[in-house]
Chain A
Amino acid sequence: MNGKTLYTVIIFSENTVGLLNQITIIFTRRQLNIETLSVSPSAIKGIHKFTITTFADKDTIDKVVKQIDKRVDILKAYYNTDEDLVYQEIALYKVSTELFMKMNGVEELIRKYNTRVLEMNESCIVLEKSGHYEETQELFDELSHSIGVLQFIRSGRIAITKSKVERLSDMLSAMEKRLDIKPEER
């Protein structure tokens, strides 16, 4: 990706309507493509966590993250490269039961890829694999090559920093102490 790095942007926000829009506009203005996106409630009640990956140069990602961080409803935004993170994606593969059963070395395949069978009926089987992009892709390639994949879906990346604590909890308690906020005033 011509000298660009894959960055993982992690954003903690209030759980308000329209936040995703606020965030994506900032990526759009800087012409950054969002590669993956995952949004879910965080460990702290009422706070949402966005995990977004994008290819960018350092200068651009730095400015984009500052601009995201500045939005009123954003608690904290930061970015990391892969070295700082433990990250994972999950993929589901639907294949034909008949073909799968006839396939050579099914057991080895399941072991090799550390795959689980989630669902099995007369017509189809759904396999699940989690891993890095390359890993889920490899299984996809192998299956498509041998028996074909009827449906495939991959989740966005989820990531955790290698440093010990979720920085947010500290920041949040400091912030609440500083502002003297009682829970009902949030």
Chain B
Amino acid sequence: MDKQKITGSDALLKTLIAEGVETIFGYPGGQIMPFYDRLYDYQKEIKHVLVRHEQGATHAAQGYARVSGKVGVCVVTSGPGATNTITGIADAMMDSTPIVVISGQVPAPMLGTDAFQEIDVIGITQPITKWAYQIRKPEEIVWAVSRAFYIASTGRPGPVMLDFAKNAQIGLVDYTYQKVTTVRSYQPFPTIEPGHIAAAAELINSAKRPFALVGQGVILSGAEKELFAFLEKGDIPAGSTALGLSAMPSDYRLNKGLLGMHGNIGPNRKTNECDVLIAIGMRFDDRVTGNLQTYAKQAKIIHFDIDLSEIGKNVPVDIPVAGDAKETLAAVTERLIAADHSAWINSFAAHEEEEMEKVIQKEAYPEEGALRMGEVVGKVSVAVDHDAVLVTDVGQNQMMGIRYFNYRRTRSVVTSGGLGTMGFGLPAAIGAKFGAPARTVCLFTGDGGLQMTLQELGTIMQEKIDLKMVVLNNAFLGMVRQWQELFFHERYSSTVMENPDFAAIAGAYGIKSRTVDKREELDDAIAEMLHHDGAYLLVVNVETHGMVYPMVPAGGTITDMIMDEK
């Protein structure tokens, strides 16, 4: 009966495997070397992707988690390795992305001595993680790691940090895997109040102009079918937040498009016309609401959310529906009376026409002038039959990406929402491809953002990752330039970018590339990119002074959208 003792590193690896981990993104260094040494013997079970910067590891883990629904995992060394993960962890916290970050740490006896590459990882990450824990003894490994996965993936998901002292990596321990399925002090699924379900259904049944706001909570909960049934039965049109995109197919009759600052005109205006506003798994971010004093004042508001601290945080709510959207939506749907709101639903059409004429026509179907971002995104979307995973960076490329790309399936959008992290795109796309290897993954990035994590082209080279990357090169920090044009008297302070030859850089990494600046070449270049077997970087030189419209200025009323007047 003598149990074989194994090292803490083995215990960690075995626990990761037991938790279903197949891929990890990481970067080695002194205080995590015992782990990396043991990893060498687990290459069949666990694929380790060597990134080029630890920030890249976190974004890759996020991309992986967002498309697959599984927990993304990163492993990094102590000190600078750990601090380099901060941006990705913060991003995952804001966007509710389940990741587990494991950083090496100096041996427990040396903690607190300012040892080489010692940093207070727990202190730094506590405000930006769901849970942060320092493993100091090998005996804690199974418990802490399994608990980390449980916490990261349940309730409202989020990042967990595990700071893994070197002595715990080396020390010997009896290994028995025991899955954590409860934490006494943590209630991931709030109790569903039947009274609230009934009240919500009653209010929706009485509504003449109901309107739903779909957030990422629907996707995280896996409640897409329940959402569909809910909208169908109630005959309720819906808008989507940036992170909620792809919960409904783009061409679904009740999908009325994107909400917020650069959203579609219809859903924004209708927010202030509806009589019952039904928020589902979204958090009334200021980029969605604009000025709260003028936001949906006429409507009764129902808020479905799993996170009690979100209900009533920004917008006063008439009926809170706490719980997992999959259950609460189904429960409310059961009590709905099948409705017909066709006149209300049809009233969106006028707004769609207006937007087509004032914005979309010029942006997506221009006949002259420089290439436009919307045009490029739209053409790629058509070329992939609207069935690829969209990954964006941050800025104009992001807004154009989410405005003009279309979706057929859920979990098709990976973008940095709450934190708005430039440099997110390229590494997130790498992770997305590992998370959905059978799907085409298209990245749209700006010339600025690309250069924040450009080094990950090395990861793509080494791992031979089949990514379709499109640089929308406007030679500006475009989104900041747009604000300077609109709100800072066209004083383009530090937004002009002198750029390298991106195609040559791709070439240096052995990645096929092409640069396009003429409309006649675009279709061919897109086809070439998509037919190429392997990674491809398409550089499209677009209008340098392009603008994303419509736009609700920050803090403005959601219905006061600026259009393209030129």
User: Does A associate with B in a complex?
Assistant: yes
- B184 adjacent to A70 (CB under 8 Å): no
Our pick among A21, A74, A179, A185 for the contact of B126 (Cβ within 8 Å) is A21
The B359-401 residues at the A interface (CB cut-off 8 A) are: none
The B286-325 residues at the A interface (CB cut-off 8 A) are: 307-309, 312-313
Contacts of B312 in A (CB 8 A): 63
**In the complex, A21→B199 CA distance in Å?**
39
**In the complex, A69→B311 CA distance in Å?**
14
- B182 adjacent to A66 (CB under 8 Å): no
- A72 adjacent to B130 (CB under 8 Å): yes
- A66 adjacent to B185 (CB under 8 Å): no
**Residue from B184, B186, B312 having most chain A Cβ neighbours under 10 A:** B184
- B309 adjacent to A70 (CB under 8 Å): yes
Contacts of B309 in A (CB 8 A): 63, 66-67, 69-70
Per-residue interface assignment for chain B, residues 100 to 126, with 1 indicating a CB less than 8 Å from any chain A CB and 0 otherwise: 000000000000000000000011001
Per-residue interface assignment for chain A, residues 173 to 186, with 1 indicating a CB less than 8 Å from any chain B CB and 0 otherwise: 00110011100011
Smallest beta-carbon distance B404→chain A, Å? 36
Given A63-B309, A66-B309, A72-B131; A18-B184 close (CB under 8 Å) = no
Smallest beta-carbon distance A170→chain B, Å? 14
- A63 adjacent to B126 (CB under 8 Å): no
Our pick among B134, B182, B183, B308 for the contact of A70 (Cβ within 8 Å) is B308
Contacts of B123 in A (CB 8 A): 18, 21
- A181 adjacent to B182 (CB under 8 Å): yes
- A175 adjacent to B184 (CB under 8 Å): yes
Residue of A nearest to B311 (CB): A66
A: contact size bracket: 20 to 34
- A75 adjacent to B126 (CB under 8 Å): no
- A18 adjacent to B313 (CB under 8 Å): no
Does A141 count as interface, using CB distance less than 8 angstroms? no
- B184 adjacent to A63 (CB under 8 Å): no
The B234-257 residues at the A interface (CB cut-off 8 A) are: none
Q: Could you tell me the dominant secondary structure of chain A's interface residues?
A: helix
Per-residue interface assignment for chain A, residues 1 to 30, with 1 indicating a CB less than 8 Å from any chain B CB and 0 otherwise: 000000000000110011001100100010
Residue of B nearest to A70 (CB): B309
- B307 adjacent to A179 (CB under 8 Å): no
- A63 adjacent to B313 (CB under 8 Å): yes
Residue of B nearest to A25 (CB): B127
**In the complex, A14→B126 CA distance in Å?**
16
- A22 adjacent to B126 (CB under 8 Å): yes
Does B214 count as interface, using CB distance less than 8 angstroms? no
Residue of A nearest to B316 (CB): A59
Q: Could you tell me the dominant secondary structure of chain B's interface residues?
A: mixed
> 4 smallest A-B Cβ distances: which pairs?
A66-B309, A179-B182, A75-B185, A72-B186
Smallest beta-carbon distance A172→chain B, Å? 8
- B185 adjacent to A25 (CB under 8 Å): no
**In the complex, A66→B310 CA distance in Å?**
9
Contacts of B127 in A (CB 8 A): 25, 29
Smallest beta-carbon distance B313→chain A, Å? 6
Contacts of B185 in A (CB 8 A): 13-14, 72-75
Does B548 count as interface, using CB distance less than 8 angstroms? no
- B184 adjacent to A75 (CB under 8 Å): yes
**In the complex, A17→B163 CA distance in Å?**
13
Given A72-B185, A75-B185; A25-B313 close (CB under 8 Å) = no
- B184 adjacent to A66 (CB under 8 Å): no
Our pick among A67, A69, A176 for the contact of B184 (Cβ within 8 Å) is A176
Contacts of B183 in A (CB 8 A): 72
Contacts of B184 in A (CB 8 A): 14, 75, 172, 175-176, 179, 181, 186
- B122 adjacent to A18 (CB under 8 Å): yes
Show 24 residue pairs from A and B whose CB-CB distance is below 8 angstroms, ordered by the A residue.
A13-B185, A14-B184, A14-B185, A17-B134, A18-B122, A18-B126, A18-B132, A21-B123, A21-B126, A22-B126, A29-B127, A66-B309, A67-B309, A69-B309, A70-B307, A70-B309, A72-B183, A72-B186, A74-B185, A75-B185, A175-B184, A180-B182, A181-B182, A186-B184
Smallest beta-carbon distance A9→chain B, Å? 15
Contacts of A70 in B (CB 8 A): 307-309
Per-residue interface assignment for chain B, residues 183 to 216, with 1 indicating a CB less than 8 Å from any chain A CB and 0 otherwise: 1111100000000000000000000000000000
**Residue from A22, A72, A181 having most chain B Cβ neighbours under 10 A:** A72
Does B151 count as interface, using CB distance less than 8 angstroms? yes
Contacts of A21 in B (CB 8 A): 123, 126
**In the complex, A72→B186 CA distance in Å?**
5
Residue of A nearest to B182 (CB): A179
- 14 more contacts with CB within 8 A, not counting A14-B185, A66-B309, A72-B131, are A13-B185, A14-B184, A17-B134, A18-B126, A21-B123, A29-B127, A63-B312, A72-B130, A73-B185, A74-B185, A172-B184, A175-B184, A176-B184, A179-B184
**In the complex, A27→B490 CA distance in Å?**
40
Per-residue interface assignment for chain B, residues 147 to 181, with 1 indicating a CB less than 8 Å from any chain A CB and 0 otherwise: 00001000000000000000000000000000000
Residue of B nearest to A62 (CB): B312
Smallest beta-carbon distance B387→chain A, Å? 37
**In the complex, A21→B123 CA distance in Å?**
8
**In the complex, A174→B123 CA distance in Å?**
33
